[in-house]
Structure 1
Amino acid sequence: MSGLATDIRIFERSELSKSLEAYRDGNLGEKKYLTIDNKVYDITDFISDHPGGEQVISTHIGKDATDVFHAMHPKSAYEMLANCYVGDLAAEKSNAAQRSKDKQNSQAFAQEIRDLREKLQAEGYFDGSTLFYIYKVVSTLAICATGFAMLYYGGHSTPVVFAAAVIVGLFWQQCGWLAHDFGHHQVSDDHEKNDMLVLFLGCFCQGFSLSWWKNKHNTHHASTNVSGHDPDIDTAPVLLWDEFATANFYGSLEDNPGKFSRFIAEHVLPYQSRYYFFILGFARFSWALQSLMYSFNQGALDKSAKLNWMERSMLVSHWILFTAWNILFVGSITNMIMFFLVSQAVTGYALAFVFAMNHNGMPVISQEQAEDMEFYEIQVITGRAVTLSPLGDWFFGGLNYQIEHHVFPDMPRHSLPKVKPMVKSICQKYNINYHDVGAITGTLEVLQTLDVVQKLCGKFSKKVF
């Protein structure tokens, strides 16, 4: 690790800016620093060993990572962090302290959210309910048992096979939400137990790699809706969500566009709102393939051979058992194909519909803008809360409380409804936009965003070609 005691000193803020500029310019020889609680940490040698992946920690080189660190790390991470400590951050000079009113307001907002976090921790809001999660795991597995029992007893009937496919698709979706909860360590302080349940629910039951998911999802939380950083909005060339992605995609085609890329740019993306719902049906299968490729090409996120072996064996077992059950108990080739396609499509729609509602159509910010904004402010203004019935809460897996989840990612889902009024009140106090809508309104907002961007695609297409 970097950061020997003899190197400890006071760091000027310009040194952090230099570290960020060097990283952006691809200068690998420069030191890489970040700050937490006004202390400076040299992460140059630690980046490749970061348990959460290189991508997520790299988004905060040269920046203040205080809030994202406290929101997303267990107590055990503080010891590891201490090994990288190299000094303290110099106090801001008097002229720099003359911040704008908006900056003062966002800093006051962030401090109140920090204070709320401490209060909620003391009051037990971050303690996962064992009974709640036992109920969730058992009831979710019961959905699976129902679907496969229907195939076992009624695999000769097309309507039964179709209904079973829908039920299995919903099982995979609900597995995703549970794996998400365990992956954020909302359930237990024992991270190894949480990860084992992610391996079972995510890898074995659902067919999604733990390492692939964590690498992608941790980065999403660290730089939510930040252009060029957040992988969840990097869906080109299938869908484009904002002007930054559109400009980058069409700009990359100006010099020497391939025939396929040009066809997509001219004849597909300008109509993305028309095929949006069609494409969602392929989401689960796409993520499952990405999981397999990540696990067999990249390995485990923490470089563990044991974890990688477990992930690979569970992913392969998932597909073997799913295929075997389909072949053994479904009466015809036609129904086998139908079961496969319908189950995949149901999960794709059920997952992607929720994911799109969470952040798509909300503000996308540039990396430069993100540097001047507080972490908690970014989490609120880029998220969409969706007010639903109890059935809707179940379907969304609690992710309709998206703003609360992003502010407190390690808070168990059963606490989020209680915390929502508190967070909303603080946002109103500081005039931070808390966007709360119904499912229909949220869907229309997503479609309106696609429509605005597809018109921009048409203009870029004419300009470039």
Structure 2
Amino acid sequence: MTTAFAEPPASSAPDAEPHRGSDFARLSRRIADAGLLRRRPGYYTVRLTLVGLALSAGWTAFFALGESWWQLAVAAFLGLVFGQLALAAHDLAHRQVFSGRRASETAGRIVGNLGVGMSYGWWMNKHTRHHANPNHEELDPDVAPDILVWSRDQARAAKGLPGFIGRHQAALFFPLLTLEGFNLHVSSVRALRQPHMKRRLLEGALLFAHLAGYLAALFAVLPAGMAVAFLFLHQAVFGVYLGSIFAPNHKGMPTLTGDDRPDFLRRQVLTSRNVTGSRLTDVALGGLNHQIEHHLFPSMPSPHLRRARVIVREYCAELGIPYHETGLVASWREALRHLHEVGAPLREERRSPASS
């Protein structure tokens, strides 16, 4: 397993020769000179404290309300809070918060496994491979064919349920996201049997502590029907929220296959999409709306990504590298349009017998 989300090292020599080193090395020096790789302990102290307070407020409201259908409002609120917890675990895994590996892993397991019910080790393995080869059909697990297909070649090979869903996947995408929360939990438990998992006993203990505490609270406070309604709404909001954050980042951007291996700078920029917006957008999307900058500098603290965007965009213009950004709604529209287009072979295959 790749063990870190590290970008290629830039030269530490003075920038006396403007064209010395790779294109990424020169960009990295500009970013470092702007101080954008420095840690932000104050920011993360405030952010993690606020998320922790929101989580405490949600569960306090849950126990205070007791048997009431107003609990569905609490479920929706906690779905958003779980999304923010997952974003915090993401930053911890990238070592944006702590420079040390041990502190990052410990905090990541507490927030991810115990707080959200999502395995830190499973996600780390999957996300590291994604960062190394974004949108590469054979190497990026995020575009591997499963229930959805991400290219026409994958659509042509799809059979059974993926084949059926692939015909209508653009229309079904957001409804399917309501199940993504459950998928994260199930995948985390299944990953405990995988050989790459480290500290599997600890990971398993934290996951089952989360699961046991969560279900015990629901069924102790609420009648069975109300508890099930709470569970499904909570996980649905959580899944849709996360999917709405991550889908615009790469879906609908160019994909790579086989030996397609542009250099690091182009591999990250050309396969990523930025989402424009205010600082409120940064908070809601955890800074991942600056996806290009995040992929270039994974360990950069998220509050620096907005400033890095200006430098990276100007540098890409100098080199003639396409830099794609759009609004949030437009990014969803582009992702859905891509899903519809790549599903075309499945729709054509269904029509062909009738036409013959």
Alignment partner of 1:329 out of 213, 216, 221:
221
Give the match for residue 52 of structure 1.
3
What letter corresponds to residue 362 of structure 1 in structure 2? M
Alignment partner of 1:294 out of 173, 191, 198:
191
Alignment partner of 1:118 out of 29, 46, 66:
29
> What does the per-residue CA deviation read over 1:377-411, in whole Å, with 9 as the maximum and x for residues that have no partner?
01001101001222221111100000000011111
The CA RMSD measured in Å over matched residues stands at 2.3
Give the match for residue 310 of structure 1.
202
Q: Secondary structure at the match of 1:368?
A: coil
Do residues 459 (structure 1) and 348 (structure 2) align? yes
Aligned equivalents of 2:63, 2:21: Cα separation in 1: 54
Give the match for residue 257 of structure 1.
none
Give the match for residue 125 of structure 2.
215
> What does the per-residue CA deviation read over 1:40-99, in whole Å, with 9 as the maximum and x for residues that have no partner?
xxxxxxxxxx5539xx9xxxxxxxxxx95439xxxxxxxxxxxxxxxxxxxxxxxxxxxx
Seen in structure 2, the aligned counterparts of structure 1 residues 464 and 394 have a Cα distance that, compared at 3 Å, is: farther
Give the match for residue 240 of structure 1.
149
What's the TM-score, normalizing by structure 2? 0.91
Aligned equivalents of 1:225, 1:381: Cα separation in 2: 10
Contact 1:299 1:308 in 2 (8 A): no
Do residues 138 (structure 1) and 49 (structure 2) align? yes
Q: Secondary structure at the match of 1:157?
A: coil
Shift of 1:294: 0.3
Do residues 345 (structure 1) and 236 (structure 2) align? yes
Give the match for residue 15 of structure 2.
none
Aligned equivalents of 2:212, 2:152: Cα separation in 1: 43
Shift of 1:110: 8.4
Give the match for residue 415 of structure 1.
304
Shift of 1:228: 1.0
Larger radius of gyration: 1
Shift of 1:431: 1.5
What letter corresponds to residue 133 of structure 1 in structure 2? Y
Aligned equivalents of 1:385, 1:345: Cα separation in 2: 25
Instruction: Report sequence identity in percent.
Output: 27
Alignment of 1:100-115 (within 5 A): 111-115=22-26
Alignment of 1:371-382 (within 5 A): 373-382=262-271
Give the match for residue 183 of structure 1.
93
Contact 2:31 2:311 in 1 (8 A): no
Shift of 1:459: 2.5
Seen in structure 2, the aligned counterparts of structure 1 residues 333 and 193 have a Cα distance that, compared at 3 Å, is: same
Do residues 148 (structure 1) and 59 (structure 2) align? yes
Seen in structure 2, the aligned counterparts of structure 1 residues 276 and 111 have a Cα distance that, compared at 3 Å, is: same
What letter corresponds to residue 167 of structure 2 in structure 1? P
Aligned equivalents of 1:110, 1:180: Cα separation in 2: 31
Aligned equivalents of 2:3, 2:216: Cα separation in 1: 35
Q: Secondary structure at the match of 1:195?
A: helix
> What does the per-residue CA deviation read over 1:11-45, in whole Å, with 9 as the maximum and x for residues that have no partner?
xxxxxxxxxxxxxxxxxxxxxxxxxxxxxxxxxxx
Aligned equivalents of 1:413, 1:197: Cα separation in 2: 17
Contact 1:204 1:315 in 2 (8 A): yes
Aligned equivalents of 2:27, 2:324: Cα separation in 1: 20
Greater relative contact order structure (CA < 8 Å, 6+ sep): 2
Aligned equivalents of 1:440, 1:131: Cα separation in 2: 32
| Aligned length, in residue pairs | 346
Give the match for residue 212 of structure 2.
320
Aligned equivalents of 2:160, 2:351: Cα separation in 1: 11
Segments of structure 2 that go 5 or more residues without pairing to the other structure are 11-18
Segments of structure 1 that go 5 or more residues without pairing to the other structure are 1-49, 57-66, 72-107, 251-260
Shift of 1:156: 1.7
